[in-house]
Structure 1
Amino acid sequence: MKIIKTTLAALLAATLMGCATSPTTENVKDVTISQPACCALFSEFEWIPMQGDDIDFAIDQYSQIGDFAEGKSYFAGFVLPENVDRMRVDLNSWLRVAGVFAPKVLLLDENFQVVESIELNDFELKLSDMFRLSSYHNRFVMERKSTPYMVVYSPQEYREGEIQVPHPERLRAEELGLARPMVTDPVYQHQKFGSLELTLKPLALRSYRATQVPAPVPATEAPVKQQPQTVKVEKAVAASAPAMLPESEAFYNSQIKAAVEKNDMQKALSLMEEAKRAGSTSAEATFLELIKK
């Protein structure tokens, strides 16, 4: 019995030692981008018009990849619409369980030169409420004359980071003066993908002329009737036939006479017309003389 207890104790000790020395596996996030960049120049980017009140968009594997100064990054590009001169923009990058897109914003002029850079440190952490998630938030103004273009991307240095957010229950307890609950503040990993939102408020509108404007027609002006085009048809003038030989004249006249004598007027008329087309000058006179008799 003593031997059995000793054996069980040894097995238990070995098991505990094995558990203590077994390696722990941790999920390592992938923030690298191996796909080729679509473009290295801002002028080659594709731009989304900033129309409407809100634009919900995702930066994911289907987004464009740009080659920025800090390296490659998925990004989204936006441009002011033609009818807006100044626009107030609120940018939110939502903190979700899968992570958060840590944004950097570049504002470009009409020649695609960087005028202003908004770093991650310029964003504030906006905590969640009953209707919205926590987010990185920043408000700025875009102007058509100086900053009509905007690029949102995330450098690799940002993607390697994380952010810890106060737990809602802890904040609630602090507001009510209650004891701090036994909760852990959640940590959100920065990722190369994420969900974002633009809230747009035009501050100044502008009028502009369309590129192609049809000529104005006064409402009181009567429509102009288009005159029908008359096509002048000229009567073809038949070339004068050469004079018929006397033998041919005599032949046609004899055939016309024979047809009239047989009272076959249809044949006589046909022979007369044929003779005239062939150049006869006496066939018609012969036919008229015969029918008078």
Structure 2
Amino acid sequence: MKKLCVVLLTSLLAACSSSDNIVTNAFRTLDTQFSDVAHLSAQLRSDQVKPVSLNNLSFQIASLDSNNKIDITASSPVINFPEGNSFVAALFLPESINRFTFVLESKAGRTVFVPSVVFLNENNQQIARIDNAQFNAKGFFSIERTFTAESAQAIRYILVYSKNSDLDGRSELVDPAREYELSKGRELSEQSFPKLYTKHSPIGHLNIQFKDVFFSAQAINNQGTKQNKVTMVKSAPLVKPPTILSDTEVFYLQQISKAIKEGNGLRAKSLVEEAERAGSTKAKSHYIQELDKQL
């Protein structure tokens, strides 16, 4: 059983269910806090859910210099993984990166989303995966992995999901006050120091960061002749390359078309702005053309 060491405030302890001592975190959104987790898990295992293919999945453009806060909800897309159906968070890396550290935290309260992560290349082939999420001192299920050289450059898509086998479990929350009393050899009653648990859930709150990001750059030797050697150039803050990669621009244009067809004008405009910041010269005209098709 996984354990989590958190500082449990008096108000948080007061919010525990008297029946099964499940922690309720007042700072979490109501839909996640009071969702019927068992119902959602059963729904994922039934024929009611229609999984989408990777080709039809909408990806969020990853922010490399700020937090990517993602809510996985009952409205999130569903992908059929080898371990079963799961609501999924999908990120796209728009730049060719030579090195980065991937950090994910899944918040724990009354429920917690147990994350598994798959990293894919542009052909949807798996480059890496992470399954060993562990509770950290801040109270989150946490994942951290550094990617260098060939693997970092190949990663284009990131999928975060929860295994079917994890949905029925729960994890114990360790109360520091209770642990202190036990370390002193004192006998504790369940009434004064009850064990606290967080249920595993198919939905939850994620915070994803990309740290220590390095881009590839073309080196110039002392004689002024260009070489194809790769040097490490750290961005602080990150500076986007002056020209956009062709496949990145194609991806933006596809996502703009998809958003307009779905009637999501705000997302389409946001994608146009993102694309232009990344160096696209076609996004705005493509956006207008797609709008004209809807008339």
Q: Distance in 1 between matches of 2:173 and 2:280?
A: 55
Residue of structure 2 in register with 1:126 after alignment: 136
Residue of structure 2 in register with 1:136 after alignment: 141
Aligned AA (2:55): S
Corresponding residue to 1:65 among 62, 78, 85: 78
Corresponding residue to 1:163 among 149, 168, 171: 171
Q: Deviations over 1:154-187 (max 9, x none)?
A: 1221111111121131234467x58465412211
Residue of structure 2 in register with 1:145 after alignment: 153
Q: Which runs of 5+ in 2 are unaligned?
A: 1-18, 21-35, 217-240, 247-278, 282-295
Residues 82 and 208 of structure 1 are in contact (CA less than 8 Å); yes or no, is this contact kept in structure 2?
A: no
Q: Give the greater-gyration-radius structure (CA).
A: 1
Report deviation, 1:55: 1.2
Residues 59 and 193 of structure 1 are in contact (CA less than 8 Å); yes or no, is this contact kept in structure 2?
A: yes
Q: Between 47-56 and 202-211, report the one with greater CA deviation.
A: 202-211
Q: Which has the higher strand share?
A: 2
Q: Distance in 2 between matches of 1:127 and 1:213?
A: 42
Residue of structure 1 in register with 2:38 after alignment: 29
Residues 136 and 142 of structure 2 are in contact (CA less than 8 Å); yes or no, is this contact kept in structure 1?
A: yes
Report deviation, 1:45: 2.1
Q: Deviations over 1:116-154 (max 9, x none)?
A: 2211xx1221134xxxxx111110134542222210011
SS of the equivalent of 1:67 reads strand
Normalised by the length of structure 2, the TM-score is 0.54
Question: RCO higher in 1 or 2 (8 Å CA, sep ≥ 6)?
Answer: 2
Check 1:204–1:165 CA distance in 2 against 1; reply closer, same or farther (3 A cut): same
Q: Which runs of 4+ in 1 moved over 6 A?
A: 25-28
Check 1:117–1:83 CA distance in 2 against 1; reply closer, same or farther (3 A cut): closer
Check 1:213–1:75 CA distance in 2 against 1; reply closer, same or farther (3 A cut): closer
Q: Which runs of 5+ in 1 are unaligned?
A: 1-24, 129-133, 215-293
Check 1:89–1:180 CA distance in 2 against 1; reply closer, same or farther (3 A cut): farther
Q: Distance in 1 between matches of 2:175 and 2:87?
A: 30
Residues 84 and 202 of structure 1 are in contact (CA less than 8 Å); yes or no, is this contact kept in structure 2?
A: no
Check 1:209–1:47 CA distance in 2 against 1; reply closer, same or farther (3 A cut): same
Q: Deviations over 1:193-224 (max 9, x none)?
A: 1111112214312446236888xxxxxxxxxx
Residues 91 and 196 of structure 1 are in contact (CA less than 8 Å); yes or no, is this contact kept in structure 2?
A: yes
Corresponding residue to 2:208 among 194, 198, 209: 198
Q: How many residues are aligned here?
A: 180
RMSD: 2.9
Corresponding residue to 1:93 among 106, 110, 117: 106
